[in-house]
Amino acid sequence: MPELRGRQKPAKPRKENSVQDLHNHLAAFFNCNNNCVHCMERDPSGKGLELAAARLKKDFSLSQLKALLEKKALIAGAPVVFTGGEPTLNPGLPAMAGLLRRSGFRDIALQTNGRMLCYKDFCLQLIKAGIGRFGISIHGSSAKTHEAITRTRGSFRQTIAGIENLLELKKTLPRLTITTHTTPTRLNISDLEPMLALFSGWKVNTIVINPLCFKGNAVKYSRQLFLPYCAIARELKKAIAGIRRRRTIHLPRISITDFPLCVTAGLTEHAGVFERVALLSPDAKASLLDQKLGFAGAKRKQCRACRHFNACTGISPFYIKEFGWEEFVPCTESV
């Protein structure tokens, strides 16, 4: 069963519409029970997907998914990932997963903050419906760090309980895939090694490291949050080395996903790829987002010499404005 995001080695350029690169993303619920300071879905007014919900009058429903399937709006053969907001808050989620399963989709995933998974019966309900991959967002090794980002008291305890429920179920369902997703910022960068130690102890399938998405709260609070890609890569290398020195901890697969490959020197074995997303809305056919991160990626003339040119979506213009081009050096040596 494939992991939720990323690959072990940098991918070779593929055809523009390769199903292997694509994921159907279905925003199943527009609100969230966390209030993350770095959330890309909240605009400067404190809203975001909530505005879409108001426009559509309601959240994604089973009948709307049926209509999309009848229109063949989903990309056949591509995984389906329930996202949000927080998708587990949609009471119709198990039924929608079941419908996708019956419609021939075999790779169904859930991207969640994990809080609702603290109810074990709910975990079982989702798994029985057809969800086989769980991506859990967790941003600290302690309540203090995690909740400094979620800004929601008690969220760490519930997320941990949700992960523990999945790990317990995985003992009898070995094909179940559990992935952690962490976004390094100024608020948690010093916690990277403790986080890797915690996640490794759980024996999750993959630890995914994501950069900030340059939208919503991440732009609003950019001065408090943003770190250059090279700084994150440097701290991640130190954290991985620290774990390996302990010898008593076995690191699972680590995927550094959506990072420009030119800044991941020394982390090549962990470099993932830029995920290409077909975003589903209840009232329209899937729209292809060539850059999931919400921008038209900028590349400069020197980038053409880089061996990763075709695999890279470029750098956010907002990022370039903040930090400039200096850290981005084309990779010209053959591998």
- Per residue in 187-208, pLDDT (tens digit) is 999 999 999 999 999 999 999 9
What is the mean pLDDT of the segment spanning 7-22?
A: 41
Rounded distance, CA 53 to CA 35, Å?
A: 17
Question: Which region holds residue 58: left if phi is over 0, alpha if psi is between -120 and 50, else beta?
Answer: beta
**327 within some domain:** no
For residue 277, name the pLDDT band (cuts at 50, 70, 90): confident
Would you say 311 and 331 are in contact if contact means Cβ atoms under 8 Å apart? no
**5 within some domain:** no
**280 within some domain:** yes
Most confident of the following: 28-37, 100-109, 288-297, 322-331: 100-109
Residue 161 belongs to domain spanning: 19-296
**138 within some domain:** yes
| Burial (Cβ within 10 Å: 0-12, 13-18, ≥19) of residue 27 | buried
Q: What is the pTM of this model?
A: 0.86
**52 within some domain:** yes
What is the mean pLDDT of the segment spanning 235-257?
A: 92
Strand partners, 53: none
Please report, as a single letter, which amino acid is at residue 49.
Answer: L
Query: How many CB atoms lie under 10 A from the CB of residue 200?
Result: 18
Residue 259 confidence (pLDDT) above 90: no
Mean pLDDT of the chain: 84
Ranges 67-76, 85-94, 167-176, 231-240: which has the least confidence: 67-76
SS3 state of residue 281: strand
Rounded distance, CA 92 to CA 79, Å?
A: 19
**305 within some domain:** no
CATH of residue 251: 3.20.20.70
Q: Tell me the residue length of the chain.
A: 335
CA 37, 42, 44, 46 dihedral sign is negative
**240 within some domain:** yes
107: number of CA atoms within 13 Å, CB side? 18
Q: Which residues contact 166 (CB under 8 A, 6 or more apart)?
A: 117, 123, 134, 136, 176, 178
Residue 237: both structure tokens together: 């290398």
Residue 120: both structure tokens together: 């074990």
Number of domains composing the chain: 1
Strand partners, 23: 277
Would you say 184 and 199 are in contact if contact means Cβ atoms under 8 Å apart? no
**330 within some domain:** no
